[in-house]
Amino acid sequence: MDGARHPFKERAVAQCQGITRKGDQCKRDAKPKSSYCAIHQDQEVRPPDPPRGDMEWDSDAIMKAALGFALVGVILLLRFRR
């Protein structure tokens, strides 16, 4: 380690815009394409989730799959319990 952690002078990464628990601005580097680091990324104002019209059938299928797995789990449990 020679101390030169950043061989390139330019900072492609911006400083995190998050606020620490002390109320100061975070000094960490923001993640790429973000204004916040990993710790404060949930402080980022993001647009609300778009309505998932196409995803409705998908969640229904997931629900059915989950029910199926639960049923199989119960059956297996009962079989092994004697």
Task: Work out how close the CB of 42 gets to Zn ion at its nearest, in angstroms, rounded to a whole number.
Answer: 10
* Dist. CA 75–CA 82, nearest whole Å: 11
Structure tokens at 65: 């799959």
Stretch that binds Zn ion, among 26-34, 55-63, 64-72, 74-82 (CB under 5 A): 26-34
Residue 28 as a binder of Zn ion (CB under 5 A): the answer is: yes
* Dist. CA 19–CA 25, nearest whole Å: 5
Using CB under 5 A, pick the residue from 5, 6, 16, 29 that binds Zn ion: 16
* Dist. CA 22–CA 28, nearest whole Å: 14
Contact residues toward Zn ion (CB under 5 A) are: 16, 18, 26, 28, 37, 39-40
